[in-house]
Structure 1
Amino acid sequence: MPDSSMAQRVSLITLGVADLERALAFYGALGWTPHAQSIDDVVAFFQLDGFVLALWGRSELAEDSGVVDSGGWGGVTLAHNVSSAAAVDAVLDAAADAGARISRPAGPTPWGGYSGVFVDLDGHPWEVAHNPGWQLDGAGRVSIG
């Protein structure tokens, strides 16, 4: 009999976007490549390390999820950990060059790291962080402590 508890993992994160083509151009400018199983003009999938990120029309995502889209921030921030403060600066510069708004410039943090935040073209905030207390393996996978 299968375990009825939910495993402690995330398999897929879907970001609702206003314009899929524009969102694909933005993430492409950051060096991301959509997976071949993406569906033209409907949804784009990015194979990440152990899970998938999808871009899908915001109104379609809201309907599918059974929620009312108030158009505001949804209370979620994504994060991208890197190996150094210089890498934080480089990623934020690339995001700004691709059209992102830098909502918090990079700088030292109260927890001893270095981070900044960019907001993508659809309002999704991404923290880019170097946390010296967390380990990144060769593939960029993070582990706490």
Structure 2
Amino acid sequence: MRQRITLVTLGVGELERAIAFYSALGWRPHPTSVEGEVAFFDVGGMVLALWDRRKLAEDSGVEDAGGWGGVTLAHNVGDAHEVDALLEQAVAAGATLARGGASTPWGGYSGVFIDPDGHPWEVAVNPGWPLDAEGRPQL
């Protein structure tokens, strides 16, 4: 298997609410989305999908126990001001602030918001991972 991820699907309780939340962050569903069924977002070399949580669990062959699934998504930015601004934007769009922006033990700056379906997102500046012109971290 090649070392890459091509698609992340988030299980959501209400698709239209989830689309509205991500749209408020400036994201736009891709035209291949299926209205009322699934939303796709082109996120720079991979796809983020929003799909009904029950259907996702059934399709994945797992039992949905509710709650956090042991995964946190991340969005790296260029500086601490961007972290704080994105956290504020997410809260204004309906997210819950789990951890405000602050310096980290690894020399960066980060905070966490939780989207309306309970998916945590870390927003971070990592000085050890400079971003290229497309905003992709360089390990």
In which range does the TM-score fall when normalised by the shorter chain?
A: over 0.9
The residue matched to 2:29 in structure 1 has which SS? coil
Q: CA separation in 2, counterparts of 1:132 and 1:11?
A: 25
The size of the alignment, in residue pairs, is: 139
Counting aligned pairs with the same residue, the percent is 65
Task: Map 1:22-101 to 2 at 5 A.
Answer: 22-101=17-96
Q: Which runs of 5+ in 1 are unaligned?
A: 1-5
Q: CA separation in 1, counterparts of 2:43 and 2:112?
A: 20
1:2-33 C-alpha deviation (Å, 9 max, x unpaired) = xxxx1100000000000000000000000000
Q: CA separation in 2, counterparts of 1:108 and 1:85?
A: 9
TM-score (norm 1): 0.95
Q: Which of 112, 120, 128 lines up with 1:133 in the alignment?
A: 128
CA shift for structure 1 position 138: 1.2
1:95-132 C-alpha deviation (Å, 9 max, x unpaired) = 00001000011100000000000000000000000011
Q: CA separation in 1, counterparts of 2:36 and 2:110?
A: 34
* Higher CA-based Rg: 1
The 4+ residue runs of structure 1 with deviation greater than 4 A are none
Q: Which runs of 5+ in 2 are unaligned?
A: none
1:31-67 C-alpha deviation (Å, 9 max, x unpaired) = 0000000000000000111110000000000000000
1:50-97 C-alpha deviation (Å, 9 max, x unpaired) = 110000000000000000000110000000000000000010000000
Q: CA separation in 2, counterparts of 1:117 and 1:111?
A: 16
* One-letter code aligned to 2:42: Q
Cα RMSD over matched residues? 0.5
